[in-house]
Amino acid sequence: TAAGVIVDDTAKTYRLVPPPSAAPPARPREPSLPTEHGYTRAEEDDGEAWRAFSADQQATIERLLLERTIAKRTRQFDLADSLRAQLGEAGVIVDDKARAFRVIVKRSVNKEDPSR
């Protein structure tokens, strides 16, 4: 059968059999990576804090959220934590349970408080 021929000596016959299909070896399926981060923006201040960011800054925040989502999906948790810290430094608080993020206005602290 390795040659694709089966011989029956008793009946003095033969028959051809098709070769087994050469199916490619099964590869583990890679998880599909998201193209959107899936978080919603909580607007506790009617979006004032979000609008304080430039369009480029907003795009960077959206990109960091997506990169963090991908890092979590691919189980790169140290990277996901690092991205969360970067977002926090920019004033973006991520709530994974609610799948939401909110923006807080960073206020500078004046060391020389004139009221003292």
Q: What is the pLDDT of residues 42-80, one digit of tens each?
A: 877 678 888 888 999 999 999 999 999 999 999 999 999
In angstroms, the CA 14 to CA 6 distance is 5
Q: For residue 30, is it within any domain?
A: no
Q: For residue 23, is it within any domain?
A: no
Q: Spell 27-37 as b/e; 16+ CB within 10 A means b.
A: eeeeeeeeeeb
Q: For residue 51, is it within any domain?
A: yes
Q: For residue 33, is it within any domain?
A: no
Distance between alpha carbon 108 and the CA centroid of its chain, in Å? Answer: 33
Question: How many folded domains does the chain comprise?
Answer: 1
| % of the chain beyond a pLDDT of 90 | 49
* Amino acid type, 20: P
For 46, 86, 94, 106, 116, the CA distances from 67, given in Å and listed in that order, are 26, 12, 13, 23, 45
Is the whole model's pTM more than 0.75, yes or no? no
Q: For residue 28, is it within any domain?
A: no
| Domain extent for 48 | 40-103
Q: For residue 92, is it within any domain?
A: yes
pLDDT for 1 equals 55
* Across 6-32, average pLDDT: 78
